[in-house]
Amino acid sequence: MLITEILARNARIYADDIALVERDPAAATRREISWRDFDRQANRFANALIQAGVTKGDRVAQLMMNCLEWLPAYFGILRTGAWAVPLNFRFEAETIRTCAELSEPRVFLFGPEFIERIEAIRSDLAPLAIRFVFIGPEASCPDFAITYQKFVAIADDCEPLVPLEICDDAALYFTSGTTGHPKGVRLTHRNLEHACYIENQHHGQTRADTFLCIPPLYHTGAKMHWFGSFIVGGRAVILKGVRPEWILQAVSEEQVTIVWLLVPWAHDILIAWENGEVNLNDYRLDQWRLMHIGAQPVPPSLIHAWKKVFPKHAYDTNYGLTESTGPGCVHLGVGNMQKIGAIGIPGFDWECRIVDSNGTDLADGKPGELLLKGPGVMKEYYKDPEETATTLIGGWLHTGDVAKRDKEGFIWLVDRTKDLIITGGENVSPVEIEHFFMNHPAIQDIGVIGTPDQRLGESITAIVQLKPGSELSVEEFLAFADPLPRYKRPRTVHFDAVPRNATGKIEKPKLRSKYGRIDA
C-alpha cells in the first residue's frame, strides 16, 4: 500500500485521534493535529502545488527544521506524484545550491532559519525558475517568496486524483560521499512502503504506541522508524530540543513508549542522572518499553550502563544507509543483548553477503565488503550512472563497509572503506575538511580521521603537516576552523607527517593505527 494511502486510511478510521504532536520546550509551546487534519493539510498542500504547475515527476525541495508542518508537507508532495527532496538543515549555501541544481525543484519550501542561505545563492538558481514558499511568520517572509498560508489559501483539501503506482519515483535524498559532494539517492514508493513494514516487523508497534521523534526529519532514519507506528495508526511526538530533562518530560507527559536516540543524547541522559541533574522519580516512565539507537557506532559500554538504569527497556540497534531507505537492513534484534557490539542480523526481507574484492563470498570470521539486497535498495544515484554502476551490481548494494560474520550469523563492522566520519549521527566527509584547511598558508598537508568518542560515536581528528619553517599553534588552527559548521570542526589536532602511498592517496589506516580507531 502506498504510504499516501496509509495516511488516507488512518484519517478514515482514526479521524479524531491525535496523529502528530509538536513540543518546543524552549518556547514552552505544544501543538497537535488529528489524523483527519494531517490528511487534509497534506491534500491542501498537494493541490496548491498542482495549481502552481507541479506535475508527476517534478521535484519539490524541503529545507525545514522539525515542526508540525514538516510531515503534512512531505505527504502533500508525494500525493502530487512529484518527488520530495528533503535537504539537510545543516547544509551550507553552496551545498544547497549544488543540491538544487541537481534536483531542479519546481517549488522550494523553506523556513526562516534559511533565509540568508537562500538569499546568498538565489541569483545562481534564477535559471531554474523556482517558486519559493516560506513557512514562517508573514512579517519575516522575504520579497522573493510567498508565505505558506497564501500559497495554500485557495487550495481545497480534497485528495488530488493523481494516479500513483508502487514503483513510481517518490523521493530524492542527499547523502555525502568521500568526495564531499552530495549524491542524490532516488527512492520509489515501494522503498518507502517497505520501510513501514520492516520497522513494524522489528519493533512490533501497535496503535497504542507513541513514538518520540527527536532526530531531524530530513534523515531517512527519523521518519522511517516512526513509519512502523504510522502503518498501524500510532502517533508521533516531534520534540524540538535534546536536553535530557526535555526528553524525559516528553516521555512522561506524552506517555511515550518508543524512543530512538543518538549516542550523544543517551550519553547525556545517563550523565544527567549520575550528576543528579534529573531525578527519574519525577517522571512517569513505566510505559517506555523500547530504546533503540542507530546512525553511528554504538559503544557497548553505553548500552550496559543504560540497562543498569533502565533494566526493563528492550534495546535494538539498526544499521542502514540512505541508499537502503534508511535503517533496518541489518538490526541487532530486541532479544539479542548478548551480542551488543554487533550490528546484527539481516532485517525483515533483507539478504546480506560479505565478499572479497572479487565478489566471492567469504567464510565466517573473514572480513570483507558488506553487500545488501532487499526492497529498500535505492533505484539509483540520480544523474550519476558511473557511481550507480559501481554501487548497484546484480541487484546488490555495495555498502563500502567492511564487516565480518560470526558463526551464529551476527554481523560486525570492521571498518568503513569510504572513510566517512559519523559524529553525533551526522556524516562528515574528511576530504571536505582537508580541502578547507589546505587554504591555510602554513599547512603543507593534512589528514582527517574519525577517532572514538564516548558521546558522539566518533570525533574529528586532524593530523597536520606544516610547511618547513612554518609555525602554527593548536589554538590558531582551531580558530581557522570558525567558518565551518560546528559539527565539522576538528576536536583534536596532532602535528605530524601525513603518510601518502605511491599514488598520492593518504594512508588513513596508518593514521588510525597511530591516533586511534573504532574497533569492531
Residues 19-69 have pLDDT tens digits of 999 999 999 999 999 999 999 999 999 999 999 999 999 999 999 999 999
pLDDT tens digits, one per residue of 127-168: 999 999 999 999 999 999 999 999 999 999 999 999 999 999
> Average of pLDDT values for 192-199?
96
Task: Name the CATH topology of 3-200.
Answer: Rossmann fold (3.40.50)
Domain ranges in the chain are: 3-200, 339-416, 421-515
Cβ count near 31 (within 10 Å): 13
pLDDT at 432: 79
pLDDT band at residue 288 under the 50/70/90 scheme: very high
pLDDT of residue 207 exceeding 50, the answer is yes
What whole-number distance in Å separates Cα of residue 211 and Cα of residue 71? 14
CA distances to 190, 223, 290, 400 from 345, rounded to whole Å, are 22, 22, 19, 18
What confidence score (pLDDT) does residue 501 get? 60
Which CATH code fits 421-515? 3.30.300.30
Query: Tens digit of pLDDT for each residue in 97-124?
Result: 999 999 999 999 999 999 999 999 999 9
- Confidence band of 428 (pLDDT split at 50, 70, 90): confident
Rounded to an integer, what distance in angstroms lies between the CA atom of residue 348 and that of residue 202? 7
Decide which of 1 and 415 is more confident: 1
Report percent pLDDT > 90 for the chain. Answer: 75
What CATH code is assigned to 339-416?
2.30.38.10
Burial 134-160 (b: 16+ CB within 10 A, else e): bbbeeeebeeebbbbeebbeebebebb
Average pLDDT of the residues in 181-187: 91
Indicate if the pLDDT at residue 321 is higher than 50: yes
Please report the pLDDT score of residue 180 as a whole number.
54
pLDDT band, residue 415 (cuts 50/70/90): low
CA distance 101 to 95: 10
Q: If phi over 0 gives left and psi between -120 and 50 gives alpha, with beta otherwise, what is residue 223? A: alpha
Q: Which of 295, 333, 338, 330 is nearest to 315 (CA)?
A: 333
The dihedral of CA 485, 491, 496, 501: what is its sign? negative
> What's residue 503's pLDDT?
41
Whether the CB-CB separation of 132 and 108 falls below 8 Å is answered with: yes
Spatial separation of the C-alpha atoms in residues 412 and 18, rounded to whole Å: 40
Of residues 236 and 431, more confidence is placed in 236
Confidence of residue 481 (pLDDT cuts 50, 70, 90): very high
State how far the Cα of 203 lies from the Cα of 230, in Å rounded to an integer: 13
Q: Which is nearest to 283 in space by CA: 293, 296, 299, 272?
A: 272
C-alpha cell read off for 360: 566471492
Give 73's contacts (C-beta < 8 A, 6+ positions apart): 42, 45, 62, 64, 109, 135
- Closest listed residue to residue 52, CA positions, set 84, 77, 71, 85: 77
> What average pLDDT does range 372-394 have in this prediction?
97
pLDDT band, very low/low/confident/very high, at 225 (cuts 50, 70, 90): very high
Q: What is the mean pLDDT of residues 69-73?
A: 98
Give pLDDT tens digits for 214-223.
Answer: 989 998 888 8
Mean model confidence pLDDT for the chain? 92
